[in-house]
Structure 1
C-alpha cells in the first residue's frame, strides 16, 4: 500500500472510530486478525519509546514491554488511564516515572528482573489501590534493601493485594510486613534471598480461651521461601508459653495448596505439630538438609490422592524422621524425586 493511501486510511479510521478505538496496526506484518496478546510488544529490542506514542491509547488495558533494553519510560505513559496490566520485567529501566501515578486502574505490575532499577518515587506504589499482583523478584538492590523501607510501608496500603513476590534483606522490614493487615489478603507469598531472616512470625492475640489471628495467613494459597540462609523455623509457637495448649488447633496454613522450601541450609522445622493441611497439593523441598520432619499426619494421605505430591531429593526423603514407621509408607506413593 502506498504511504499516502495508508496514512489517509488511518486518518479516516481514527476520525470514525475515535471513541471505540478498535483498530490495531502492525506495519509490514500482513495481519488479517489481531495477534495473540503475548506477541504484541514483548521482546522487540525496544530501546526507547517516543513521548507521544501512548497519546491515543486511553482504552488500552494490557501493556507488555518485557525483555526489552528500555532504560526509560516516557512521561506520556500517564495517558494509559485504563491500563490494568503492566509488564516491565527484564528491562533495563533505571527509574519509574512519577507519571505512573495516573494508572489508577492498575491491577498487575511486574518488575521482576529489573536489576538496573534504582529509583521508585515515594507514594507511587501506594497509589495503585486496585493492585492485586506485584512482582519484584531480582529488582535493583538499592530498591528493597538499601534503606528504602518506606516501600514496605507502601505495600501495607495495598488492601486488595493477592500476589506478592519480593526479595527483602532487611529483617526489620520483613517483620514489619508480616505483622501488617496486608497479610490477610495475600493469596501468594514468595520470600527469596533474605539472608538474615530466621523465622516467619505471625502476630497472635490471646484473650482467655479465645485465639484470633488479626494478621495471619488466612487466605494464603501458595508459600515459597527460597535462599534464606539463616532461617531455622517457619512457625514457632513455643514462645507463647501458657497459651500453647490453647493453640493446639491453630493451623496457619489451612488453605495453602503449594508449599515450596528451597536452599534453606539451617531450616529445622516448618511447624512443631502435625497440620491437617486439607488443601495441600504440592510440597516442594530442595536443599534443606536439616529438615528432618514434615508437619503431616497420615490422614492427609487418604484424601485427594491424585492431587497430592511431595518433591525432593531421594537421600533427603530416606533420612526423614516419622512419628510412626507406618506413616512413611503411607506417604511413599506421593514422593517424587527431583532427579
Structure 2
C-alpha cells in the first residue's frame, strides 16, 4: 500500500528526514483532508526537509488544502519566499519557518524581506540569509500601518504579532547589525545567534526608542546563546529582568564587555557560561551584581 492510498491522512510529519530527496507534489495535493503538515527544519542541525526546496507551485498546492491548520516549512529560494509572503492562507497556519541559504545553492537575490505578522509562529530560523532590508505591514483597528527598516537594523515589527514565538535561531547572516525585532516576541524562551559577523547589538538602543515604550524584555527568556559575534558590544543598554534559572552562554564575542544584568535580574540565579578571561574583563555597573552572579558562573574552554 502506497502513501497515495492514504486519502484520509490528517497529519504528515517529515521533519528530521534530511535524507529525503524529493516528494511528489501531486502526492501532497492528494491528501485533501490533511490538517497538519510538518516540512520544516527542527533546528540548526536538522538538515533540509523535502530537499529544502519548496517551489512556488508547491505553495499553491498547499493553499488548496482547505483543512490545513498547522504548517512548518523550509524556504530556500527567492520564488518560494515571494510565494510565502503573498499567501495569507499559508502565513495564517505557519507554526515554524526556516529561511535557509543552502550551502551549494544560488544566493538570494531578494534584498528586502517583508515578513508579515504571524500570530501562530512558534519558531523562526534564519540561516545564511543575505537580505538587507525588512518591511513590515499590518492592520490595527481598520487602519493600515506600514513600517520600513533597514535589515541591518533588522526589525520585524508589529504590535506583538509574534505572541506565540518561542524560539529564534539566527546563524551566519552577514548583514545583520542587530535583531531589535525580537522585542515584539514577548513569550520568547530561546534565542541563539551565531556567526553574524556584522552584528553590533542584539537590541538597538535607537530602535527600541523608536518603536516601544513600556515593553518588558526577555521576561520569559530561558536560553540566550551568543557565539562568534566578533563585533557585538551590547545585548541591551539597561538591565533586564530575565526569569530565574535562565542561562546565558557567550563564546567568541571579544567586544562584549557588559551584560544587561543587575543583582535583581533572574532573582540573582542566572547561569552564565563563558571563558574565564572574558568573565574577568566584564564591566559591571554595580559590583554587587558581579558578586551575586559569581557563584553561577561556569567556565568554558
Taking structure 1 as the reference length, the TM-score comes to 0.65
Deviation at 1:269?
0.9
Seen in structure 2, the aligned counterparts of structure 1 residues 134 and 106 have a Cα distance that, compared at 3 Å, is farther
1:263 aligns with 2:228: yes
Deviations 1:52-105 (A, max 9, x none): 732424323133261224145332211223241423653535443242333452
Residue in 2 that maps onto 1:145: 108
Deviation at 1:144?
8.0
Seen in structure 2, the aligned counterparts of structure 1 residues 141 and 234 have a Cα distance that, compared at 3 Å, is farther
Residue in 2 that maps onto 1:197: 176
Seen in structure 2, the aligned counterparts of structure 1 residues 233 and 295 have a Cα distance that, compared at 3 Å, is same
Q: What CA distance in whole angstroms lies between the structure 2 residues aligned with 1:335 and 1:124?
A: 43
1:101 aligns with 2:95: no
Residue in 2 that maps onto 1:64: 14
RMSD (CA atoms): 3.5
Q: What CA distance in whole angstroms lies between the structure 2 residues aligned with 1:71 and 1:54?
A: 15
Deviations 1:158-202 (A, max 9, x none): 332121112332221345752245444422222222212112335
Residue in 1 that maps onto 2:36: 84
Equivalence map 1:183-262=2 (5 Å): 183-202=162-181, 216-237=184-205, 251-262=216-227
Question: How many residues matched?
Answer: 265
- Larger fraction in strand: 2
Residue in 2 that maps onto 1:120: 80
Task: For structure 2, list consecutive stretches of 5 or more residues without a partner in the other structure.
Answer: 41-46, 135-150
SS at match of 1:120: helix
Relative contact order, higher structure (CA 8 A, sep 6+): 2
Contact 1:71–1:93 under 8 Å retained in 2: no
Q: What CA distance in whole angstroms lies between the structure 1 residues aligned with 2:249 and 2:203?
A: 17
Taking structure 2 as the reference length, the TM-score comes to 0.72
SS at match of 2:168: strand
Deviation at 1:119?
4.9
Deviation at 1:238?
5.3
Residue in 2 that maps onto 1:172: 133
Contact 1:94–1:119 under 8 Å retained in 2: no
